[in-house]
Structure 1
Amino acid sequence: MSVARLVRRARTFATIGADRQGLVLEAVVRLAVARLVLIAIPFPRLAARWGMLLPPGDPRAASAPADDHARRIARRVQWAIETVAPLMPFRAACVQQAVAARGMLARRGIVGIVHFGIGIGTGSVMSRDGIGQRVASNGRMTGRRSTSADDAVSGRAQLSAGHAWVDAGGVKVTGFPLDAALVELGCFVRCP
């Protein structure tokens, strides 16, 4: 990053106000912690902390419509994650963004539902965070070496990279827009 760009970003940060500065700093810390946690803790153990894995369409997975205050907070969390993720010194993938957003929302008493899905079919899969890969018509993912698993799906529905996204009471917090080829596998919800 050039010095001029760094100076511009520092000036912008200084002018956004204390509330937004706090959100930006929290997003930086949460994204970094999410990256470390996802590396250090086995996913099944981590997922157990998120609640119950429910299949798509389960009525317990429907988040109640949020009031205006909760929607405003969810949009502010969305803004912070969206602003900070591209600036992190590592690739803040959709799953790190989902974990960070869920934590930021929970800290504010708002339920964020973490969804997981996988792309099916050919073409580009995933959202604007750039995590997806292209799947060629022969079922092989481009941008990496083919494996026997790639060959096994050739001729059937091709699977591409997975994706995670968060919604909170109707607010699309992270991982949106969703690709039409994305199929939800399930979501994590805290059930009473």
Structure 2
Amino acid sequence: MRAGWFRRGLALPAAERRLAVEAFILLAVSRVMLALLPFRVAMDWLGLRLVHGAGPGEEGNVPAPVVPLVGEAVCRAAAIAPFRAVCLQQAVTAALMLRRRGHATEVHFGVAKDGNGNMIAHAWSRCQGRLVTGGRQMPQYQPISVFVT
């Protein structure tokens, strides 16, 4: 399956290939930072700060064309990463990529209970009112915190 992703990646326009490579590198950086440092320190070093309330709320803005491209690039990179790129790493990566392009991004954390009553967590990212990563699972989670770039 990975070879198929590689061949399809070569068929991408150069700009999308560059985004996918950037996403791959930032996935690895976010994984290392989040694994080695205490969570608050890692988020601070990555330039994400905790906000109280729902976040900046840019629902009315027209999303920049790069927003969905970044989401797709993160998804591509996560699919071929030699490590398990979980939702938190994907959300942080999307936020870093979009911040580099001048767009404020939110990383949301939510919790829910699984079928056995155990607490489970999920992270997703939003930019200009649009979901960038983690959108499919997001509705079942109760938001508990938001970090912004």
Q: TM-score normalized by structure 2?
A: 0.87
Residues 180 and 103 (structure 1), Cα distance of their counterparts in 2 relative to 1, 3 Å cut: closer
Q: 1:180 deviation in Å?
A: 4.1
SS of the aligned residue for 1:113 comes to strand
- 1:67 is aligned to 62
Partner of 1:156: none
- Within the candidate set 85, 88, 92, 2:81 is matched to 88
Deviations 1:112-139 (A, max 9, x none): 101111114xxxxxxxxxxxxx432xx3
1:38 and 2:38 aligned: no
1:77-108: CA deviations, max 9, x gaps? Answer: 01111122122111100000011100000011
Question: Are residues 1:173 and 2:132 paired?
Answer: yes
**AA paired with 2:129?**
G
Q: With structure 1 as the length reference, what TM-score do the two structures score? A: 0.69
SS of residue paired to 1:109: coil
Residue 146 of structure 1 aligns with which residue?
none
Q: How does 1:82-161 map to 2 (within 5 A)?
A: 82-120=75-113, 134-136=114-116, 139=117, 159-161=118-120
Structure 1 distance, partners of 2:99, 2:110, is: 22
- Compared CA separation, residues 37 and 67, structure 1 to 2 (3 A): same
Question: Which whole-Å CA distance do the structure 2 matches of 1:180 and 1:64 have between them?
Answer: 17
Q: 1-side partners of 2:102 and 2:139: how far apart?
A: 31
Corresponding residue pairs, total: 147
Partner of 1:129: none
Deviation at 1:40, TM superposition (A): 1.6
Tell me how far apart the structure 2 counterparts of residues 9 and 46 of structure 1 sit (CA, whole Å): 30
CA apart distance, 1:179: 4.7
Give the 3-state SS of the residue equivalent to 1:166 in structure 2.
strand
Over 3 Å counting, the alpha-carbon distance change for 1:82 and 1:62 in structure 2 is same
1:53 corresponds to 2:46: no
Equivalent in the alignment of 1:77: 70
Structure 2 alignment gaps of length 5 or more: none
User: What fraction of aligned residue pairs are identical, expressed as a percent?
Assistant: 32
